[in-house]
């Protein structure tokens, strides 16, 4: 029914994005985000966000997840624009 992504580059890009998401979650979860050493090393992950709330800590991860869902939708369903529009509409309303 649906055409599965066959491009090796697309699959590699999606896998690399998921690895980045998992690595970000592990780094944020295991470290104290208010520690100066953490800010010096990984400050870009939480720059300008309210780190006292979970959504602030994980905002970069949430953004990466949204982008990965967008990539998967656009690449894997490239022959089904109607389904793409529906999925992207639901995603934009839900998030």
Contact assessment for residue 43 and residue 25, using Cβ atoms and an 8 Å cutoff: no
* Distances 18 to 14, 51, 71 between C-alpha atoms, Å: 6, 23, 11
pLDDT tens string 44-78: 767 777 777 777 777 877 888 888 888 888 888 88
Q: Is the dihedral of CA 26, 32, 33, 38 positive or negative?
A: negative
CA 38 to chain centre: 21
Contact assessment for residue 5 and residue 79, using Cβ atoms and an 8 Å cutoff: no
Is this structure's pTM higher than 0.85?
Answer: no
CA 10 to chain centre: 15
When the pLDDT of each residue in the chain is averaged and rounded to a whole number, the result is 77
The rounded distance, in Å, linking the Cα atoms of 60 and 73 is: 20
Interval 23-38 mean pLDDT: 76
The rounded distance, in Å, linking the Cα atoms of 75 and 84 is: 10
What does the pLDDT read at residue 1? 46
Domain definitions of the chain by residue range: 8-94
């Amino acid at each position: 029914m649906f055409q599965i992504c066959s491009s090796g580059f697309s699959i590699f890009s999606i896998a690399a994005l998921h690895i980045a998401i998992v690595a970000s979650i592990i780094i944020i979860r295991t470290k104290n985000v208010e520690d100066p050493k953490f800010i010096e090393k990984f400050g870009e992950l939480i720059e300008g966000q309210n780190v006292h709330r979970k959504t602030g800590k994980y905002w970069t991860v949430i953004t990466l997840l949204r982008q990965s869902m967008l990539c998967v939708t656009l690449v894997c369903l490239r022959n089904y624009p109607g389904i793409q529009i529906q999925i992207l509409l639901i995603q934009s309303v839900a998030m």
